[in-house]
A and B are shown apart, each in its own frame.
Chain A
């Protein structure tokens, strides 16, 4: 496969594991996803909410929360604005489908290429994030379904916690910061150990 068709944002030369104990403590997975920012027009939030519920089975969450439906996940990003995350195979059409369904009730902006998604899982996920982020991510304070727009590794990120038996976070960052953030994550995880899974080399 030629370099042009590689799916990962990162050079092939990147290590796939490192730190003290290798990959057990933290797994960092690069994910491709369809990501579309939906911002309600003035006074149209209820329409947007109803449309997404009806057409996409997504219930828009309140501030600092995420909610998942059958077709994707809605992540609150700012008042009246959500990031809709769906599987990678919807990249090409998600924005168009949303735009059509919302019919002028919201600004619909594709961010599938503008954001990179990392998933962090493992028993030391919170401990690693505590080195990069000043929020309280303890189970009692930041249970599954919690979300925050915050600074992780000195850059703006959207961080949310998924339902899972072990700590499992999604971290969404501007794609031009992705390699920096990967470096920061691996540096912060060094005293525990980490593994890295780049996005699969599937066809585009």
Chain B
């Protein structure tokens, strides 16, 4: 295969060689190449098969609009499908493979789809694979997926790292062509904080294609920008979306040009920009002309051919036909002629051109008023416009230019409705809705001189709008001569497939079919044909499709319009959006002050919400429930110690603190004596139970509220809301002290004796410190708060200690309890004991239950308003038949119970009376026990019902009991 690399020219370093592979073949390129330019330089003409018809395809473009050259990049865990070869910076060791071909690229069995092309028309899948329904999953979908695959994703976890980064600036400039560089410099020299984002790895955009004078200006601009500390330039950074409040999103491809990132380097960085002003200098994209065979390998956009010649020093073909309706492709013809690789023919649909003579003088065959009627990869047929017959021209390159579309995507996303410009036969950005302006080709101002001038003004205006008015002067390139107007031209009709969307294989005929079948709105036609829905988002042919639709509808292109532009302007990897927040970094982790102790002492730690908590402390040889039973038995028979620091704690102070709590809780706190605790229940506004916990009165105007672990933040928010908006007259101050105090539960009949040996300064005798008392003392010299409260149902205390001293106090209690065989117990033993005791917890406080449902209806105070009182009185919530908290035990004590089982009268009954909310194996009863919510719970107590779990195919006869499986008289806690 002969090299297509030209002997000189372009921004590639011919002195250095890069080795890479494509479909297993070892090839070489140079620094400065893209994968696409290197493939072309190596004479690779065929790079992929099309999506639907499996037609052979070659490289069509030199940018993100590429529809054909989609490759799988890298291998193993780093394999990435659907990468555009035109956007991949060539690097040593790059491994790439064509995709969507089976069994091989040059011989594709699926190409038979192309022969049956008339069958696979628009809407084919909708119409065909309708019946029978079960065939969809089993037969059709796997077949279609095989036929229409777009590469294979990696099946292993991504070994690379990603991160997010957030920036603010006065002026964000998107694009670094003549307009972008001029905008950045004028804004930067005015003193504004400027960020420039360039998608490419080289700065300069269209400046990279032109004359030495332009190159000198580009270098001068870059040098001056580098000298401005307030200007930051980001290359390889594509801005993908423009959102409200001038927020823009981008992905920086930090290490995609390496086989793998350097140590500590991310592969991609997700960036957000909050810009006071935005300058969109995103350039323009060339559009194709629909004609039979306009997808054959060898078809290439004229601007892309110019890019390969001028920037990469690669000849895209030998004998070329350039087909155009505007002046821009003349430059391509000249560049092709300069490369001297073969004959160049320029076919212009316009009858006249002022440039024709200059081209003819360079030996180019100029055919005015003509059109190309077909291309097969080897020859192009041309004829006089609308005439008959034709002339065959040998050409391996058909270069197309149907005109240029300003890249209005970001402006359009920002809310500016694109405006039709008849002289350009394209859309330009509409009036700004947000603080943005477009400049250069993106604004329909073509040519380096015009773009630079407009860019400089846009930068100056943006900086001034952001408050930076300092003027600056710098030289700009001369404006070019006036161009001859474009002749709007969309399609050459003829036999064969004329593509408007190459990536999704949508033809001009499909667009007409959509119209005939009633999908005439451009958004409907888009979805019916999938035109413009591929990863190139219709950049090449969206407008051409609209023009064909317009003709079918008998309207103007302007009236038909193009589909709405939405993010993303280019495909974005999920990894980049997730950033650092994946795996162990997915959500915050909270550790109690005793976390380290738990780890050192062999706790089995588990996440519960954000918290890491010890579930149990297994000893060697223990399996299954063993450690849980051992820990719970120790508490019930002697003493145990548990880290309960995760409970929410809120310090409430102020002259109106008691009033505030009276309004939040269904029971009363103003009557609570100093030094006492009380259990309280809080409702939501709608009357459903919100949270529960004990509240202690530390002083006349000082309370300590505890919440459940999960509701700590919501309860604080609930308080803030009511204090700020509902009762602003109350003098009350509160803040979270959850992290200030570590909390340690000491429970069991020996807990008093244990603590008596550890605590100084507080008499723990039953009379002096009865159940529901709060007091202060010292343990190991550390000031602590003590509360005589119990969750296990045993005699128990909780000790609050400043969290930095938690280990000292914990160890002191362990030492004091040693003679009673004190054991640390985890969440599982705690849960076992609370179910035995019949305390409601998360599964019962489930956002559906009322205080009465949980047997706490009598706690509601007789008078005074309280959050939730009114709506708790609604008939549905006051209905005595509602499911009520009860206990259940299996009649056959060998049977296990299941959480989530339904309670029914008979196994065959189709009517559920309620559900099982919590289950455990009981150490007091030596069988499974549970809590359930059962309709008319009070009246079915003592009855035998059935707990049925269809999920497990189990049905267990149960006795309905009081929820208090242990010590229903509550004597132990008062002992």
Q: Which residues of A contact B (CB under 8 A)?
A: 3-5, 9, 11, 19-20, 37, 39-43, 81, 106-107, 109-115, 130-131, 133-134, 136, 138, 140-141, 153-155, 174-177, 179-180, 183-184, 187-188, 190-191, 193, 204
Q: Which 8 A-B pairs have the closest CB atoms?
A: A114-B740, A107-B733, A136-B168, A42-B731, A107-B653, A39-B733, A114-B739, A20-B264
Separation of A115 and B736 alpha carbons in the complex (Å): 11
Residues of chain A with a CB closer than 8 A to B804's CB: 9, 112-113, 175
Separation of A60 and B183 alpha carbons in the complex (Å): 44
Contact of A177 with B166 in the complex, beta carbons under 8 Å:
no
Contact of A180 with B589 in the complex, beta carbons under 8 Å:
yes
Residues of chain A with a CB closer than 8 A to B274's CB: 134, 136
Contact of B735 with A180 in the complex, beta carbons under 8 Å:
no
Residues of chain B with a CB closer than 8 A to A177's CB: 588, 590, 739
Interface size, B (range): 35 or more
Closest residue of chain A to B730 (Cβ to Cβ) is: A42
Contact of B737 with A131 in the complex, beta carbons under 8 Å:
no
Contact of B596 with A11 in the complex, beta carbons under 8 Å:
yes
Q: Tell me if B493 counts as interface (CB < 8 A to partner A).
A: no
Contact of B585 with A113 in the complex, beta carbons under 8 Å:
no
Which residues of chain B (563-610) have a CB below 8 Å from chain A?
580-581, 585, 587-593, 595-596, 599-600
Q: Tell me if B760 counts as interface (CB < 8 A to partner A).
A: no
Interface residue from B165, B731, B739 paired with A41 (Cβ < 8 Å): B731
Q: Looking at A20, A109, A141, which has the most chain B CB atoms within 10 Å of its CB?
A: A109
Residues of chain B with a CB closer than 8 A to A184's CB: 580, 585
* Extra A-B contacts (17), CB below 8 Å, given A131-B166, A191-B264: A3-B596, A37-B735, A41-B654, A110-B740, A112-B740, A113-B802, A114-B803, A130-B166, A133-B166, A134-B274, A153-B588, A175-B739, A176-B593, A176-B611, A179-B595, A187-B580, A204-B805
Separation of A180 and B587 alpha carbons in the complex (Å): 9
Residues of chain B with a CB closer than 8 A to A154's CB: 581, 587-588
Interface residue from B581, B654, B808 paired with A4 (Cβ < 8 Å): B808
Separation of A82 and B424 alpha carbons in the complex (Å): 61
Residues of chain B with a CB closer than 8 A to A81's CB: 733, 735
Q: Tell me if B807 counts as interface (CB < 8 A to partner A).
A: yes
Contact of A188 with B163 in the complex, beta carbons under 8 Å:
yes
Interface residue from B264, B595, B654, B741 paired with A19 (Cβ < 8 Å): B264
Contact of A130 with B739 in the complex, beta carbons under 8 Å:
no
Interface residue from B580, B595, B645 paired with A188 (Cβ < 8 Å): B580
Tell me the smallest distance from the CB of A181 to a CB of chain B, in Å: 8
Q: Tell me if B84 counts as interface (CB < 8 A to partner A).
A: no
Q: Which residues of B contact A (CB under 8 A)?
A: 163-168, 193, 262-266, 272, 274, 580-581, 585, 587-593, 595-596, 599-600, 611, 645, 651, 653-655, 730-731, 733-741, 802-805, 807-808, 811
Tell me the smallest distance from the CB of B707 to a CB of chain A, in Å: 15
Contact of B737 with A111 in the complex, beta carbons under 8 Å:
yes
In the assembled complex, 15 residue pairs joining A and B whose CB atoms fall closer than 8 Å, in A order, are A9-B593, A11-B596, A37-B735, A42-B654, A109-B740, A112-B740, A112-B804, A114-B739, A114-B740, A134-B274, A136-B168, A174-B590, A180-B590, A190-B264, A191-B265
Contact of B807 with A3 in the complex, beta carbons under 8 Å:
yes
Interface residue from B193, B591, B611, B807 paired with A179 (Cβ < 8 Å): B591
Contact of A176 with B581 in the complex, beta carbons under 8 Å:
no
Separation of A115 and B735 alpha carbons in the complex (Å): 13
Contact of B590 with A131 in the complex, beta carbons under 8 Å:
no
Separation of A36 and B886 alpha carbons in the complex (Å): 46
Closest residue of chain A to B166 (Cβ to Cβ) is: A134
Say whether, besides A107-B733, A113-B802, A131 and B165 are in contact (CB < 8 Å).
yes
Separation of A190 and B585 alpha carbons in the complex (Å): 14
Tell me the smallest distance from the CB of B915 to a CB of chain A, in Å: 34
Separation of A155 and B596 alpha carbons in the complex (Å): 21
Interface residue from A131, A175, A180, A204 paired with B803 (Cβ < 8 Å): A175
Contact of A4 with B811 in the complex, beta carbons under 8 Å:
yes
Q: Looking at B274, B587, B590, which has the most chain A CB atoms within 10 Å of its CB?
A: B590
Contact of B733 with A115 in the complex, beta carbons under 8 Å:
no
Residues of chain A with a CB closer than 8 A to B585's CB: 183-184, 187
Residues of chain B with a CB closer than 8 A to A153's CB: 588
Separation of A129 and B626 alpha carbons in the complex (Å): 47
Say whether, besides A41-B654, A176-B592, A179-B591, A109 and B737 are in contact (CB < 8 Å).
yes
Separation of A111 and B803 alpha carbons in the complex (Å): 10
Tell me the smallest distance from the CB of A13 to a CB of chain B, in Å: 10
Q: Looking at A19, A112, A130, A175, which has the most chain B CB atoms within 10 Å of its CB?
A: A175
Residues of chain A with a CB closer than 8 A to B734's CB: 107
Contact of A174 with B738 in the complex, beta carbons under 8 Å:
yes
Interface residue from A107, A131, A133 paired with B654 (Cβ < 8 Å): A107
Say whether, besides A107-B653, A187-B580, A174 and B733 are in contact (CB < 8 Å).
no
Contact of A131 with B164 in the complex, beta carbons under 8 Å:
yes
Closest residue of chain B to A18 (Cβ to Cβ) is: B264
Residues of chain B with a CB closer than 8 A to A188's CB: 163, 580
Separation of A188 and B266 alpha carbons in the complex (Å): 10
Residues of chain B with a CB closer than 8 A to A130's CB: 165-167
Contact of B166 with A113 in the complex, beta carbons under 8 Å:
no
Residues of chain B with a CB closer than 8 A to A37's CB: 735
Interface residue from B168, B272, B738 paired with A141 (Cβ < 8 Å): B168
Contact of A111 with B588 in the complex, beta carbons under 8 Å:
no
Separation of A5 and B655 alpha carbons in the complex (Å): 39
Say whether, besides A131-B165, A175-B593, A183-B585, A41 and B740 are in contact (CB < 8 Å).
no
Tell me the smallest distance from the CB of A157 to a CB of chain B, in Å: 11
Separation of A164 and B262 alpha carbons in the complex (Å): 33
Tell me the smallest distance from the CB of B611 to a CB of chain A, in Å: 8
Residues of chain B with a CB closer than 8 A to A187's CB: 163, 580, 585
Closest residue of chain B to A114 (Cβ to Cβ) is: B740
Residues of chain A with a CB closer than 8 A to B645's CB: 176
Closest residue of chain B to A108 (Cβ to Cβ) is: B653
Say whether, besides A113-B740, A191-B266, A176 and B590 are in contact (CB < 8 Å).
yes
Closest residue of chain B to A116 (Cβ to Cβ) is: B739
Residues of chain A with a CB closer than 8 A to B166's CB: 130-131, 133-134
Separation of A153 and B265 alpha carbons in the complex (Å): 19
Residues of chain B with a CB closer than 8 A to A114's CB: 736-741, 803
Separation of A111 and B599 alpha carbons in the complex (Å): 26
Separation of A111 and B591 alpha carbons in the complex (Å): 17
Separation of A175 and B594 alpha carbons in the complex (Å): 12
Residues of chain A with a CB closer than 8 A to B591's CB: 176, 179-180
Residues of chain A with a CB closer than 8 A to B587's CB: 154
Tell me the smallest distance from the CB of A15 to a CB of chain B, in Å: 13
Q: Looking at A20, A141, A154, which has the most chain B CB atoms within 10 Å of its CB?
A: A154
Separation of A137 and B952 alpha carbons in the complex (Å): 57
Separation of A9 and B580 alpha carbons in the complex (Å): 24
Interface residue from B164, B193, B803 paired with A113 (Cβ < 8 Å): B803
Contact of A112 with B802 in the complex, beta carbons under 8 Å:
yes
Tell me the smallest distance from the CB of B734 to a CB of chain A, in Å: 8
Closest residue of chain A to B163 (Cβ to Cβ) is: A131
Residues of chain A with a CB closer than 8 A to B741's CB: 113-114
Separation of A130 and B263 alpha carbons in the complex (Å): 21
Separation of A110 and B741 alpha carbons in the complex (Å): 10
Residues of chain A with a CB closer than 8 A to B588's CB: 153-155, 177, 180
Tell me the smallest distance from the CB of B258 to a CB of chain A, in Å: 14
Contact of A174 with B739 in the complex, beta carbons under 8 Å:
yes
Say whether, besides A114-B738, A188-B580, A41 and B655 are in contact (CB < 8 Å).
yes
Closest residue of chain A to B170 (Cβ to Cβ) is: A140
Separation of A42 and B611 alpha carbons in the complex (Å): 35
Separation of A154 and B262 alpha carbons in the complex (Å): 27
Separation of A39 and B741 alpha carbons in the complex (Å): 19
Residues of chain B with a CB closer than 8 A to A9's CB: 593, 804
Tell me the smallest distance from the CB of B518 to a CB of chain A, in Å: 47
Contact of A131 with B580 in the complex, beta carbons under 8 Å:
yes
Separation of A9 and B803 alpha carbons in the complex (Å): 10
Separation of A115 and B740 alpha carbons in the complex (Å): 7
Separation of A179 and B589 alpha carbons in the complex (Å): 8
Separation of A107 and B738 alpha carbons in the complex (Å): 17
Tell me the smallest distance from the CB of B81 to a CB of chain A, in Å: 27
